[in-house]
Amino acid sequence: MGPHRIEDTMIGRSLPAMRMTLIKTTLAAATLAVAAAGTLAPAAAQGDKSPEQWIQDRQDNLASAAAATKSVACALKGEGCPRAFDYLGLQARAIAHAARMAPQHFQEGPFPDAEADTTALPKIWDDYDTFVQGFEPMETHAREMIQAAQNEDLQAYAAAFKKTTDACSECHDTYRED
Ligand code: HEC
């Protein structure tokens, strides 16, 4: 959309000063957008991320898995959380997605000088490939939960949930500070 179009459609001829301001603002924004597109290729964006942001991203990702896990546990124990299968399916999808995203959030570390608390142990980055394999059972079993929810099979859902949370503990026992 060029300035002429904005001028013609949005601003009356009686407001020339405002019109010029808007055109300038629009052009400035467009210039910034072009500059940003030129410099922020996806890889560069990750490369520019601060240590604190890396830590926050990986913690937020796992915290969202934990939110879903807690809701599912509460539902299965009959402690008042929704037990409808569509809801249980959505929770499982949140866990599966977090598992899928997790490896990329651990690509860099351990950042011992970062001004952010982390419980990730430095040995993760001694063998990143082995570490991230731990997210595979988490995703596999979360996807079994999704399937079970689709089949409206609560017993299968609960069994897959148990395996999913086993995957959490197994990794935490090895790679996270107590
Ligand atoms: C392959 C390893 C691995 C798996 C699998 C894993 N986690 Fe974690 N988790 C970690 C590590 C490492 C940290 C520490 C991150 C940090 O503090 O920088 C962590 C941190 C957390 C945190 C703390 C986040 C915060 O705010 O500090 C929660 C909550 C959590 N995980 C929940 C889960 C749940 C729930 C699952 C399973 C559904 C799970 N994790 C599966 C490795 C894993």
State pLDDT tens for residues 41-65.
455 567 799 999 999 999 999 999 9
pLDDT of residue 21: 54
> What residues pair up with 176 in beta bridges, in sequence order?
120
Mean pLDDT value across residues 78-86? 96
Mean pLDDT value across residues 14-35? 54
Contact 52, 114 (CB under 8 A): yes
Q: Which CATH class is domain 49-175?
A: mainly alpha
pLDDT of residue 19: 56
Any atom of ligand 1 within 6 Å of the Cβ of 66: yes
pLDDT of residue 7: 41
Locus of tokens 């599912």: 72
pTM for the full model? 0.80
Helix (H) or strand (E) holding 157: helix 154-175
168 CA to centre of ligand 1 in angstroms: 7
Any atom of ligand 1 within 6 Å of the Cβ of 61: no
Measured from the Cα of 164, ligand 1's closest atom is 38
Any atom of ligand 1 within 6 Å of the Cβ of 164: yes
Any atom of ligand 1 within 6 Å of the Cβ of 93: no
Residue ranges of domains in the chain: 3-39, 49-175
Contact 54, 111 (CB under 8 A): yes
More confident residue, 34 or 96: 96
83 CA to centre of ligand 1 in angstroms: 25
